Structure 1
Amino acid sequence: MKEIIKKSNQAIAAYLNRRGYEIVEQPWEADIDSRVSIVAKDKDALVFTTVTACKDSDSFPAEHLNQEELEGFAIKWLKDNRSHADCAVRFDRIGLLIMSPDRAFIKHHINVMSCSNIPGEE
Structure 2
Amino acid sequence: MAARKTKDEQSTGKAAKRSNTKTQSKPSVDSSTTHAMHEKENSIEQRKESSSINTVAPTNKSQNNRELGRRGEDAAAAFLTRRGYEIVERNWMCQAGEADIIAQGEGSIHFIEVKTRSSAARGFPSEAVDAKKRSRYERIAECYLRSCNNLPEMRVTFDVISILATGESRAFLRMHRDVLASDCAM
In the TM superposition, 1:55-66 aligns within 5 A as: 55-58=118-121, 59-61=123-125, 62=127, 63-66=129-132
Letter paired with 2:158: F
Inter-partner Cα distance in structure 2 for 1:49 and 1:88: 14
TM-score between both structures, scaled by the size of structure 2 = 0.55
Q: 1:29 to 1:54 in 2, by over 3 A?
A: farther
- Identify, as 1 or 2, the structure richer in strand: 1
1-side partners of 2:111 and 2:88: how far apart? Answer: 10
Match of residue 16 from structure 1: 80
Question: For the structure 1 residues 106 and 87, does the alpha-carbon distance in structure 2 shift closer, same or farther, using more than 3 Å as the test?
Answer: same
The whole-number CA distance in structure 2 between the counterparts of 1:100 and 1:32 is: 34
Q: Residue 78 of structure 1 contacts residue 85 of structure 1 at CA under 8 Å; is this kept in 2?
A: no
Cα distance in 2 between the residues matched to 1:99 and 1:30: 33
2:108 corresponds to which residue? 45
Does 2:142 match 1:98? no
Could you tell me which amino acid in structure 2 is paired with residue 101 of structure 1? E
Give the percent of matched residue pairs that are identical in Structure 1 and Structure 2. Answer: 29
C-alpha contact (below 8 Å) 1:26/1:39 kept by paired residues: yes
**Structure 2, unaligned runs of 5 or more:** 1-64
Which is further off, 58-67 or 76-85?
58-67
Paired residues in the alignment total 115
Distance 1:110 1:96 in 2: 14
* Greater C-alpha radius of gyration: 2
TM-score, structure 1 normalization: 0.82
Which residue is 1:119 aligned to?
none
- 1:6: which partner in 2? 70
Corresponding residue for residue 111 of structure 1 = 178
Whose relative contact order is higher, 1 or 2, with alpha carbons under 8 Å and at least 6 apart? 1
Q: Quick one: which of 82, 88, 112 aligns to 2:149?
A: 82
CA contact (8 A) 2:158 2:182 kept: no
Q: Distance in 1 between matches of 2:138 and 2:104?
A: 17
